[in-house]
Amino acid sequence: MSTEPCPLEPWLDILPAALAPDQNGVLVRLRGDLDDDDAVDVAVLPLDGLHPAELLDGFTAPDDWLALGLVTRGWAAPMGSERPSAHPARRRVCTTVLLDRAGAAVGRTIDKSGAVVIDGPPGEGEVLDLLRCALGLSG
């Protein structure tokens, strides 16, 4: 197993700032050379209330897109039968997930103070599958 850091890792600290205060999520695309910060072109597309699956289902990223991901706001709360947004111990969080064409994935969820709630990408899920498909990583 490689001990080299994934070139996507630094973006976990940078991309949450791409989310405007009135936005709940953005789709992110990286193009260029991930090993040279000055050669990376970043673009964001606000979700504007859409679920990410509405944009990603059936989408194929152009070949020059090196990475694709999401930055979204939501709620974190202890596991239970209530929705996290209704739980009395809820807290607002921001989650960033990025995948590259080699299949590397990074992710991080932070709370309002910047404290890390979850460090690592999700292991499974519909949106993760759609990101993989868009990058040609699965069928």
Strand partners, 42: 30
Would you say residue 88 lies in a domain?
yes
Has residue 29 been placed in a domain? Answer: yes
| Residues 6+ away with beta carbon under 8 Å from 34 | 7, 8, 40, 66, 67, 100
In a domain, 36, yes or no: yes
pLDDT tens digits, residue range 1-52?
Answer: 455 668 899 999 999 998 888 899 999 999 987 666 678 899 999 999 999 9
Q: Tell whether 2 is covered by a domain.
A: no
User: Pick from 97, 107, 34: which is nearest to 65 by CA?
Assistant: 34
Tokens describing residue 131: 């990101």
Rounded to whole angstroms, how far apart are CA atoms 80 and 82?
Answer: 6
Q: Is 1 part of any domain?
A: no
Both ends of the chain: CA-CA distance in Å? 26
Expressed as residue numbers, the domain containing 69 is 11-134
Is 5 part of any domain? no
Tens digits of residue pLDDT in 61-91 = 999 999 999 999 999 888 888 888 889 888 9
Please report whether residue 139 resides in a domain: no
Counting the structural domains of the chain, the total is 1
